[in-house]
Structure 1
């Protein structure tokens, strides 16, 4: 069902210079031109999503539910069942944990093709405190059958993912982490839901960093650091966490070490998905997780929270060096 989509480097860089909320709003307005039945269902938060163009050009596409996220999912499911792509968007912990039962029933059991969009995942809005930190959302959404889970590394991949899901609606969760984005190459960005990408290094590297979300940028810096120290190291990205691209992962099974990198609690998230893939295999590399600690940190900026959680390029490189005994 998924198709490879491409964005040239200039457009990708222009998008990455914008706020992700602005990119989401602009993309929704453009997609509504192509899909007359498209709806964006919000719970009060819509005022901050740059949806003015959508509301002017397609007023019926904007549905405001107020501060009632459970109702938001019910409304979104009803609209999705009538046809047309439906996007339900809010802060990551609100659009996942607060409405988990409604997602379980409507998207998991009934397979209503609602696309959930979680803004500010990880520590992106950490200044607002632990209540707004999206650190359990991957674990929550991975546990729901029939749900696709996507974690784009930047605004370019976000746009391509939204385009794909509008063209082929399905129960899905799109996780948006912000921060410093990985600079697009001159070749541009190729993206397909369900497909992994080798971003740097050789396929037969001894160490494979496997990252998701905007931490791909920090992982890329760590990969360069390790390579300059003579360590054979590759960087792989999995923007789709469920389903995993196991055929892509198979090529790295000969490595001496895997390192999973995510802005999410180390329990139940991306690293856990990789561990579940590796567990039944007779021969497998050891897996070291780089993820948020199993605790709630007090309010702080994303940069400071990442540093305290060990989610910097320096911390990633040091983790590898310690594991290799160097």
Structure 2
């Protein structure tokens, strides 16, 4: 009986670990204050607060999307502050690449705050759950990644996974124009408006605008545009259909340029040369720069890295016992 109970305990532990691994990416992190024994979470009204730690809660997971911007995994909005002064609240906001209230840095191993300002993440003051900005550098302004000794910047994205979207037949690159329009034009890899980045297994952002690439509907010939990120919107979920065909996940609607004599990128059911895309100056498809760790709960699609598939196959023997 004791041996059976022990084996059951081990199985349950493995199931919990496996569920955690599948649900959240290895570059996601939970922000932890050791002195308060609290973790940062997102509450109602996009408030950033601190509470009891639950690493399985999506609202407690964050991710760097650039060298200075952090998003909430659950809300796909950037962590920002309500101003550049002490005691203002930390909140979630639509990402703004140029906003100084959304640019974060590690001052040292545990002190975390706004870049270039003496204003730090702080919790525990004024008897409220909200995370605030504070000039103090004491224990209540000290943060690390939960269940590690790593600072928050150890998971920072340094930009090496940015990419430029290129159509070889048209010899054009995708860019962001006025009004958040997604268009195609002459390639200039030095232009920030031509740089994109995966922030999850299915969401792509414009590096210059910090908004998600989306479509104006689930029908042919609608325009591709930038929108505030929405983790559940089917018009913002993208996938590679094959080596060069790129389109909306689960729909026969593909990135297309060259039709109707206009510069806009549109959705099209066709699979010809004008719907074929790769990463500029490479032979790689767009998903080759997708982070393998950004798989979401319930996803069975493997990343571009073969090791992930092998890992899934090894785990499947355990996983079938976890689904009870």
Normalised to the residue count of structure 1, the TM-score between the two structures is 0.28
Normalised to the residue count of structure 2, the TM-score between the two structures is 0.28
Q: Name which one, 1 or 2, has greater alpha-carbon Rg.
A: 2
Q: Which protein has the bigger strand share?
A: 2
Relative contact order higher in (CA < 8 Å, ≥ 6 apart): 1
